[in-house]
Amino acid sequence: MPATTDFSTAYCTKHKIIMEDISSKDIDELKKYLGSLGEKPFRANQIYKWLHQSLATDFSQMTDLSKALREKLSNEAYITVPEPVDIQISREDGTRKYLFRLPDDSLVESVLMKYRFGWSVCISSQVGCRMGCAFCASGMDGLLRGLTPGEMLGQIEAIQRDVFSDTTDCAKKHEEHTTDCAEKHEGHTTDCAQEHGNRTDPKAPSVPKPDSEEYLRNRISHVVVMGTGEPLDNYDNLLIFIRMLTDENGLHISQRNLTVSTCGIVPRIKELAEKKLEITLALSLHAPTQEKRRELMPVANKYDISEAVGAMKYYQDTTGRRVTFEYSLIKGVNDTDEDAEQLSSLLWRGAHINLIPVNPVKERTFAAPTRAAAIDFQRKLEKFGINATIRREMGQDIDGACGQLRRRHLER
């Protein structure tokens, strides 16, 4: 089903008609669409819950709708159900890396991580990326397009189905799927997916009833838009995605549990600040000076580092939400004593910076510093009054860096 230019609809070759992207419609848009079909507004709430709470993958599953309406929707609209092409599971920590195929055959990556507080998912916002950061695999093939709200949500919902499927299908068989199954398949679950069946099979989605103890215990609680793409380069769809993600009739994930990462598109940061959302905004900083940032991140040629940091301060002051600075530690590039001092001068006292030992990318020569060197850098920042944390390294034994898994498949 090749998609049209704006991807809000798609052309169905079977029926030779334009089909509506129902997965990207918020409640208000869904009411308008159903009104055009002669349906009452309450149907929108029913369908929205089926899509984003019960995680339906086919209109036939919506059993409280009339057969006539289900058939009409099947002929005129489509549900975005990302297809798992590859799933890798880390033998070290159970982190899962997903490669999804979208309706137009585009490929995107997502990551599932387990923390003490629960499940967290990192999703992509674009197919490819045009930011061209030197240490990242995502932008090596450029930008194809932005993702629709439904495609962003679809990554979370597909992974949520997978988590629910594990608790019902795999937990009994393997006792703990993320370790035993990973060991069995050496960190890759292509075979495992075949063994346990297609988890996006419309006839058998393993989803417990919403509000049930099992549903609440295993639901994804945190989302990070930090995968492939620049979210603020897909601004309008990002806002719709946020509205739908946090809707009480859907996944109902708190805005405070959502982090959006940007490389620093200054006008959009300020525009987002005016929305006064409760999301956490993170700036991919990665350098202490304009000169070094320009070498690593082409976006610095348009927006000076001081502009980007100033926009983040504006966001924090306007929304009351603490911002975060992401800093990939690259051995011999941005991890010296001088870098720590310059970084401290750039930020304000009490600012929070997340240090990320860079993930190795085979096409690049960058390497992460040792753990001891990272801790030493952290302590230097803290000495200057900067709150610094070192991100827990996850998925190191799989294609953990953004864009790696997708690029490997494209090269086949």
What pLDDT digit, counting tens, does each position of 266-283 carry? 999 999 999 999 999 999
Mean pLDDT of 379-408: 78
Which segment of 2-16, 102-116, 156-170, 318-332 scores lowest on mean pLDDT?
2-16
What's the pTM?
0.86
- Select the more confidently predicted residue: 151 or 167: 151
Predicted confidence (pLDDT) at residue 343 exceeds the cutoff of 70 = yes
Predicted confidence (pLDDT) at residue 13 exceeds the cutoff of 70 = no
Predicted confidence (pLDDT) at residue 172 exceeds the cutoff of 70 = no
pLDDT value of residue 284: 97
Query: Which domains, and CATH codes, for the chain?
Result: 9-78 (1.10.150.530), 83-410 (3.20.20.70)
Is residue 209 classed as helix, strand or coil in its secondary structure? Answer: coil
- Given the structure tokens 């982190």, which residue do they identify? 95
- Select the more confidently predicted residue: 334 or 194: 334
Amino acid letter, 21: D
pLDDT band at 93 (very low <50, low <70, confident <90, very high): confident
CA distances from 81 to 24, 56, 58, 152, 406 (A): 12, 9, 9, 11, 18
Residue 122 is among the residues annotated as catalytic for this protein = no
Using CA atoms, how far apart are residues 337 and 328, in angstroms rounded to an integer? 15
CA distances from 64 to 4, 47, 50, 61, 157 (A): 32, 9, 10, 9, 21
Residues β-bridged to residue 204: none
Active-site residue identified among 129, 133, 170, 402: 402
pLDDT band at 29 (very low <50, low <70, confident <90, very high): very high
- Select the more confidently predicted residue: 1 or 301: 301
pLDDT band at 64 (very low <50, low <70, confident <90, very high): very high
pLDDT band at 124 (very low <50, low <70, confident <90, very high): very high
Active-site residue identified among 20, 39, 109, 157: 109
pLDDT band at 187 (very low <50, low <70, confident <90, very high): very low
Residue 12 is among the residues annotated as catalytic for this protein = no
Q: Quick one: angle between helices 337-346 and 305-319, nearest 10?
A: 50
Which segment of 112-116, 261-265, 373-377, 379-383 scores lowest on mean pLDDT?
112-116
Predicted confidence (pLDDT) at residue 6 exceeds the cutoff of 90 = no
Mean pLDDT of 219-247: 97
- Given the structure tokens 């990556």, which residue do they identify? 109
Q: Which residues contact 172 (CB under 8 A, 6 or more apart)?
A: none
Write down the mean pLDDT value for the chain. Answer: 86
